[in-house]
Every structure is written in structure tokens, then in C-alpha cells.
Chains A and B, each alone.
Chain A
Amino acid sequence: MDNEELLKPTLSGYRQPPALYNSTGFFLSAFIGGPVGAAIYGSANAWRLGRLSKDLPLFVGIAAFAFLVILELDRQGVLGQLMAILGVRNGNFGIFLRGLGLACAGAIYFVHRGYFRAATVSGVTPRPGWVPGIGALLAGVAANIAFVRWILQHH
């Protein structure tokens, strides 16, 4: 970046100062809400960072990919074997959705890692994540239930 580029205002385009929501909310949204929960919470962060239009398609893609992984595992019969090993009752995909939710959160964190790290070292206090957290949880749980029903219907 040359000097002129450096002296171009960066913050004037934001309606509100860039910030991140609380990491606890992110974790819980992903853990309970699965891939959809993680994607929604991540999108809330992207909105606060002023890059929603750039990140939303990617996060939707990540969540969709997670569901596709389960579908593919089910199609291959691997899902059933895993459930047997883990002693999971038939139809209870919760553990897989939790795992994939956390994996999606990890992928979303990777995309935003510069922001998270900058917040950590500069001691910036994250914003409370109640609103996006509750929204992500509700939407995530609803999506999980709908997805499991769909799989069972098409088993």
C-alpha cells in the first residue's frame, strides 16, 4: 500500500464502529444451533465488520456444505455405522450436527481470524452477543430439526 492509499479514510464508510460479538455466544450458537447457528452468528459479526455482502454467501456455503457432508455420509451408509459405534439411537443426529456446527464455527473464525486477533491484542471488549445469539440458536435448532426430519422421511 503506498502512502496515498494509507491516508485514505477507512472508517468513514461504517455506519457504526467495527466490532465483534462475544465469543461465548459464537460457541454456544454453533454448539447448539449447529451449522446454521454458526453461520448466522458469523454473519452478524460480518455485518458489524461491514463485510456482510462479502461473507454471507461464503457462510451460507459453509453451512450448506456441512449438511451435504451428513447427507453424503448417510448415502454412503457411513452415518449408520458411526451411530452404531457411538451408541446413538436411530434418528439422533444431534452429535453430528454439534460437531459440524463447531467445525463451521472454526471455518468462519478462520475467515475472521485477523479481526479476532486484533481484538485480543488491543484489549477491545467484545459486544454482548445476546441478540444474534438467541436468533442464531432459534434458527439453528429449527434448521436442525427440519433437517433431521427430512433425512428420516427420505431414509
Chain B
Amino acid sequence: MLTEFEAQLLRDPFNAGVRVEYARALLAAQRPEDALAQYDLARKQGAVVEEQFERLRTPPPAAPAAREPVKLSVVAGARSADVVSIARPAAAPDKTRFMHIAGMDDLKKSIRLQIIEPFLNPGLFAKFRKKAGGGILLYGPPGCGKTMLARAVANECNASFLAIGISEILTAWLGESERNLALMFEKARSQKPCVMFFDELDALAFSRSKASSDTSRKIVNEFLSQLDGFEKANDQVLILAATNMPWDVDPAMKRPGRFARQVFVPPPDAPARARIIELALDSVPHGAVDAAAIAGVTEQFSGADVDALVERAKEYVLTEYLETRRERDITQDDLMRAAADLVPSTQDWLRTARNLVKYAGGDDSYRDLERYLKANKLL
């Protein structure tokens, strides 16, 4: 019965009535999270409130972070008896928006113009022959907010969000990984407008010329075929992906119609770093701190590095307390000392990126990266 609804929604994704029926069927099939996602989408499309779904939002009283088993059902085939359970923590709905992301104003503006506004106003952009949807690849050093940015984009687009990591696709069973991938795409098709987000794309779509196993190649082939099928199916799905290693992503993934647009997400700029420091110090005892000065000595620090810097400063204070039993606040000196002690984790990535731009050259898709390296005197 579920497949019937999915087929109907494929033909008519804006039919709120069918979507609500689908949500009810999902609820009956013990899939409350999926049911809620469909219901929310139906509500955006004008469906009326239904109590049975609203109740799903309220967590049970005094419940710890529950690990609800979610069965990943196989649509067809003899392996349904071998359905594999995955356990995911019950996640609170993600509300990250651009305003929650410190700094990166230029990047946010560019993303809003290139990605969000075409998605929200397809009519306006169609006049200028700009299509909404398609695939965008966010790349950059680890810990710089690619995943957070992707979630913010989804929320800014007011679309349902489907986050897919390696663990959602890959299994030890032969052939299941491709089927899981196909399932995810079917799910997204039935939830339009939708943002699909593939984290660690290099792991899922690893370059076939580097892969030594057939399994890896088959997954990439399936991925490509789904993306190609997708392009024809609709304009109301945005596919985002993030990777630390864009050079490991199969080149075919970056061709027109797939992840043709690549956006470099650099380490946070000085205002962003200062803001991250302020946020990190918000709930801990600290003296007068000049966050801008600390940001000034933390070039190329990722967001994660800045958090680690504050953690290190806390350690200094706590260590001193253990030795002297004297409590004190975190000071500017502690933070400066931590900044001097830590090495940015982005260095290796930037060194590799420099090799790519300086010696390999000629590839337009890394223009943003080249500009960043030149601006920061790394090239």
C-alpha cells in the first residue's frame, strides 16, 4: 500500500490529500518519524491539522534520548527477511538557519542567490532562465561548517530535509547498498519540495579509477543513474553534498546535471572566529576577553579548532585549580596561550589544496579555492 502512495506522489507531488493519506499509512506501519515528515510537508501544502500527528511532536515524559530502532525496509526482493535494523538517536528537529552561523557573510549571500532564492522563487528565476534544484557540492577543510551550512540551506528553503550519510547507505550485504541508495531517492521524490544532503560524498561516490572493488563501482554507477533520472523527474529537489576531499569524488559526479556546482567553504573568517569564541565562552566564567584579538592569531583555524582552543583554555584553569585550589575565570592570557599551543587542523588540507591549485591548475571548479589561497598568501 505504501508503494501505491509513493507512486501517486511521484505523479502528483503537490497533492496534500494523498500526502496525508501516505502519512497515515506510515504511522500505521510503525514509522512515526517518516509519518511526521510527510505530515509536515502536507501542512506546508495546506493540509489541516491532525491531532494524531501533532502528538508525535511531544516527547514522552522524562524520556532519555531514546534510541528508536528504525527498520530500513526493502521494497522488493527475497532479502526482506534479512532486514537490517539500524538504531539512531531520536533527533530533535534541526532549526539551524543562516543567522545561527557566525560570519561567512559573502558565502551565505552567494548561496542565497545561487541556491535558496531560485528554490523559493522558481518563477522569478525561470524568467531569467535559471533553474531551481540540481546538485551542489560543498567542499573544504574538515570542521568548517559544511554540514551545518547544508542544514541551514534546507531550513532556509522551507523544504523537507533528508540527510544521508555512509551509514544510511552502506551495508555489509552485497547489492543492498545500491538498493538503499535507490530507496533514499524514492523517498526524496515522494517528499517534494525536498533537500537531500549527502555527507562525506567522497566515501559514497569514491572515484572509480581509484577503487579496487566492484562494490564501490556499483554504488557510484547507481548514484549516477539516480541523479540522471532525478534531473528529468522534477525541479523541486535540491541535492546538496559535502566532502573534505573533492578530488576523491568520481569525476562523473561533477558533470552537468549532477553536482555541477561546487562551492568552497573556507575556514571561518576573523569575525566568525571571534563570534565562535564568544559563543563558546558564553556559559563559562571568564574575564574581559578580546575575542577579535584571539581571532587575529588563529588564522586558518576551523570552527572545531576554535572550540578546541576554548576547551584547552578551560583545561589550563582547571589544572591550575587542581594544583593550587584557587578558582579563577578564563582570561585573555589563557586563550592566547591555547592559541599558541594549538596547530590548525586545516593545515594538511590547505597544503593539499595548494598542490592542486598551484601545480595541477586549469580547473575552473576550484576558482573559489584559488582566490582564498591567494588572499591568504598561501599560494
A–B direct contact (CB < 8 Å): no
- Residues of chain B touching chain A, judged by Cβ–Cβ distance below 8 Å, are none
